[in-house]
Structure 1
Amino acid sequence: MAVHAGVCAAGRPRQGGVPGRALRPVDHADHPPAFGLSFAQKTVEAAVAALGEDIRNWPDASPVTLQDPAYVGVAVMAMQGRPGYTRIRTPYVSDADAARIAEATSHLTADPDLCLDSLLRSADRTTTPAPSLTK
């Protein structure tokens, strides 16, 4: 059984990256993500969360229509500056290959709880010794 990812949206960097100036999130109504990708969704609301409000205007492209087993590995993609949506099919990855790749890249991951602990420690808010953030 192969595994396929869920939802991806790549946005713009946050505004205000000037030293001494606070960062503030970009308003996605004015600055939509550069691209959005969604595999099958059960509700239109989930599709909107992944791809934006405009997916309501393209019911034939909605990821809600990808519920059939024939659509395993198929996603709906939106790209900024291009009207509408397109479907893409991800390649099949065997369990053995997925496990091999996960093991080979596991050193690139970090536990969010450990990252938060490290941040708190750097701000002198805890005295617990720092654990390794990676595997």
Structure 2
Amino acid sequence: MTETTDDLLALESQLCFALAVASRGVIEAYRTELEPLHLTHPQYLVMLALWEHESCSLSQLATLLRLEPATLSPMVKRLEKLGYVSKRRGAADERTLVVALTPEGRALRADATAVPLAMMAKLQLTDDDVTKLREVTSRLIAATSAARAS
């Protein structure tokens, strides 16, 4: 093997490795910010989607979060037990499960507004850093989605 090949295959040179380690670290860092809200990171993502949309069918929520409905169902069930969401059958189609915020879930939003700023401070990121990271990761998401579709 040549030195160039070795460098290209070095663990620290791999984008997938850097993204995996960074992702685990960021999600772990969220834990202490979300514990007072009684939320796990995946549950927080569900709540973010609902704070934005108020209510969604389970399939719409799965699409927003890029998850399978079967993966999402247990999270919604736990959020329902916490009193943050309610579930009901759709009026137009009883096969549709609609997930909606409860008054407690809506009220939780006020406490959650501190999370993004706390995370920026914890991760030592500026507004500009966050904007750039979102832009790059959005391009990665689009590229990986396009690659899966082809």
TM-score relative to the length of structure 1? 0.28
Q: Which has the higher strand share?
A: 1
Q: Which has the higher helix share?
A: 2
